Structure 1
Amino acid sequence: MSRRSATLLTSTLLLIVLFCVAVLLPVPYAEMSPGPTVNTLGKNDGQPVLQISGHRTYPTAGHLNMVTVRVTGADYRMNLIEAVSGWLAHDDSVVPHDTLYPQGQTSQQADQENAEEFTESQDSAKVAALEALKLPVQSRVVVGSVVKGSPAQGKLHAGDVIKAVDGGAVKAPTDVAKLVTKHKAGQTVVFTVVPAKGSGDTDIVASGNVTRNIAIRTAKASDGRAIVGIQAEEAHSFPFTIKIQLADVGGPSAGMMFSLGLIDKLTPGDLTGGKFVAGTGTIDDNGAVGPIGGISLKVIAAREAGAQYFLTPSDNCAEASKDTPAGLRLVKVKTLKDSLNALSDIRSGKTADLPRCPAG
């Protein structure tokens, strides 16, 4: 074999080895890409996304699309070739694995966290929408969860409505801890509750208004505080039934679009004027819109679906403006009211008045 042939053979073998290493060697990265979009006014898998019963609804037109991002799973390990390919792709984003799944979080833990955030966002979306329409929403403090092996286990249950602690009225979840920690560990605290009957799709349902006084001996927390081992949270009661049907979606980022979809269905006329509007953003009970992750990928998904306008949380504006797809107008919003005002301008054709996102 000539020297040249030997050199070529050696180089070829080396390239094969390097390729195999690149394929087999895992790297600590995860990939994000534009995900599907769903019209909150329409159907998903044959079922209406927003289902309302017990209150009059109205026909809708146009689109109010929520958007998603696809991510590789917590247990998936990218190889070097996939990472480089993702870095070179315009529509993908490769990020450190710990950015999406901190502290060794498993797929099951990530799914559970996303599901909880999604449920909370639905609840806030309902509250914000009904508050905007001046429809009554009742709030109450409930037992959200009971720690296994704690003094409260078997005495308090998820869904119990907490009326008072030691006779002190409970108006907010933080009141529970304040009243319990007035005691020393080992002392007894008395909860006045309306026992839970079960949980429904719209709110936690208590068994009437019959209260019970339940005595619990406190334990000592690691910092010395008196505790009983529950997580108190706020729950809401709505004057009619609202269900949000959307499988395989997690996280809080669709909150604002759910609120807008509900308002559109509960009021005559069309919020969009038949236009294709997409958007994203968390929402709280008061209608404040918060930032989300993956905004650059979500605007791509929106435009690929056909959106003309994209309702953008103000704190995401700079990032979203860096590479906005052609044909998509970014509209800056801070509150649900801002979004409603923007939709009013869109359906009336006053697009010059729309608050735009500044360049990044």
Structure 2
Amino acid sequence: MSKKGPLAAVAAVLLAALFAVALLVPLPYSVMVPGDASDALGTAKGKPVITITGHPVRQTSGELRTTTIGATLPDARITLVDAVRAWFATDQAVVPRDAIYPSGKSVAQLNKLSAQEMQQSQQAAVSAALSYLKLDPDTVKVTLDLPDVGGPSAGLLFSLGIVDKIQGDGHGGDLTGGKDIAGTGTITAKGAVGPVGGATLKTQAAKAAGATVFLVPKGECSSAKANLPSGLRLVPVVSLQDAIGSLRALHTGGSVPSC
């Protein structure tokens, strides 16, 4: 009597068991998803995101939305099934856990670092906007308040919000042209715009919030175009002045750069 049949059956059972275990074993990965898209021209938790004193402030229409991404916590159980599902989803991304949560740093430490980056970004955004407007920072005071958001990625939209509240498009209209504009990008005190990552998911957040235009650092055009939601126009920018020029052109019929 041949033992090949029973042995093959046992091997198949063991292989199936190993495969089942592999599907359920936690992996050292995190899943990232689109986050919030807060309006820099509006309010957050009942308070204005941008408060300006020492200079007249204009009423604005339209929106300037900062975009964020969220991620599973470091102790979240991510299995092979979760990773494969996220890999094929257009509104999720799988990344090594250490890319978000460097080993040796607690969540509290990372949150503190993120808050510090946000504060530095806000200071740079105010400096860039007031410099563009040729206003004295000792006379005009700007306070930025966007709770529960960290990191430097809102810098560009903060600067644009300040400019819109003080000057608009410079011709009596809104910088937004009354549209729902979203975007991302760091900014320096001199107005240079830099990349921050996560553009693919941030465009998803922008579309979900109703935006029709997305301002993206020029160096992130390629990633922003991946899985770009229909009806969302990408506009590459390299500086605050560049972004303001593009927004003006959008509602005056001028030439607007494209990714």
Equivalent residue letter for 2:145: Q
Q: Is it true that 1:71 corresponds to 2:86 in the alignment?
A: no
Asked if 1:294 corresponds to 2:194, the answer is: no
CA deviations on 1:256-301 (whole Å, 9 max, x unpaired) are: 0000001111125310110111111000000000001101111111
Could you say which residue in structure 2 is the equivalent of 1:203? none
Unaligned runs of 5+ in 2: none
Residue 26 of structure 2 contacts residue 79 of structure 2 at CA under 8 Å; is this kept in 1? yes
Contact kept in structure 2, 1:74 and 1:110, CA below 8 Å: no
Unaligned runs of 5+ in 1: 138-237
**Residue number in structure 2 paired with 1:33:** 33
For residue 264 of structure 1, give the secondary structure of its aligned residue in structure 2: helix
Shift of 1:324: 1.8
Corresponding letter in the other structure for 1:287: G
* Partner residue in 2 for 1:245: 145
Q: Aligned partners of 1:92 and 1:103: how far apart in 2?
A: 23
Question: Residue 260 of structure 1 aligns to a residue in which SS?
Answer: helix
Which amino acid in 1 is paired with 2:256?
Answer: L
Once the two structures are TM-superposed, the CA of residue 74 in structure 1 deviates from its matched residue by: 3.1
Q: Give the Å deviation of 1:247.
A: 1.1
Question: Aligned partner of 2:142: which letter?
Answer: I
Q: Deviations over 1:229-270 (max 9, x none)?
A: xxxxxxxxx423322121111110100000000111112531
Alignment of 1:109-124 (within 5 A): 109-124=109-124
Distance in 2 of aligned mates of 1:19 and 1:47: 51
What SS class does the counterpart of residue 191 from structure 2 fall into?
coil
Q: Which residue of 2 aligns with 1:108?
A: 108
Q: Distance in 1 between the 2:22 and 2:185 partners?
A: 41
Shift of 1:321: 2.0
Partner of 1:22: 23
**1:42 to partner: Cα distance:** 0.9
Does 2:171 align with 1:271? Answer: no
Query: Is the 1:98–1:104 Cα contact (8 Å) retained in structure 2?
Result: no
The amino acid that maps onto 2:188 is D
| 1:347 equivalent in structure 2 | 251
2:242 to 326, 331, 338: 338
C-alpha contact 1:281 1:292 (8 A) present in aligned 2: yes
2:225 aligns with: 321
Counterpart of 1:303 in structure 2 is 207
Any conservation in 1 of the 2:157–2:183 contact (CA below 8 Å)?
yes
TM-score, normalised relative to structure 1: 0.64
Matches within 5 A, 1:43-62: 43-62=43-62
Q: How does 1:207-218 map to 2 (within 5 A)?
A: none
Q: Which has the larger radius of gyration?
A: 1
Distance 1:49 1:16 in 2: 54
Amino acid of the structure 1 residue aligned with 2:136: P
Match among 273, 281, 302 for residue 185 of structure 2: 281
Aligned residue number for residue 135 of structure 2: 135
Distance 1:245 1:355 in 2: 31
Give the conservation status (yes or no) of the 8 Å contact 1:288–1:334.
yes
Deviation at 1:15, TM superposition (A): 5.7
Count of equivalent residues: 248
How far the C-alpha of 1:79 sits from its partner, in A, is: 2.5
1:126 aligns with 126
The 10-residue stretch of structure 1 (37-46 or 254-263) with the greater mean CA deviation from structure 2:
37-46
Distance of 1:74 and 1:239 partners within structure 2 = 45
What amino acid is the match of 2:146?
Answer: L
On the 8 A contact 2:90/2:227 being kept in 1, the answer is: no
Q: Which amino acid aligns with 1:131?
A: S
**CA deviation vs aligned residue, 1:21-49 (integer Å, no higher than 9, x gap):** 633x2211011111110111111222211
SS in structure 2 opposite 1:37?
Answer: strand
- Looking at structure 1, the residues matched to 147 and 118 of structure 2 have their Cα atoms a distance apart, in angstroms, of 11
Once the two structures are superposed, the pairs formed by residues 186-225 of structure 1 within 5 Å of their partners are none
Name the structure with the higher helix share. Answer: 2
> How big is each residue's C-alpha offset from its partner over 1:165-186, in whole Å with a ceiling of 9 and x where there is no partner?
xxxxxxxxxxxxxxxxxxxxxx
Q: Which has the higher strand share?
A: 1
RMSD: 2.2
- Counterparts of 1:277 and 1:54, CA distance in 2: 27
- Partners of 1:76 and 1:44 lie apart in 2 by 28
Identity %: 44
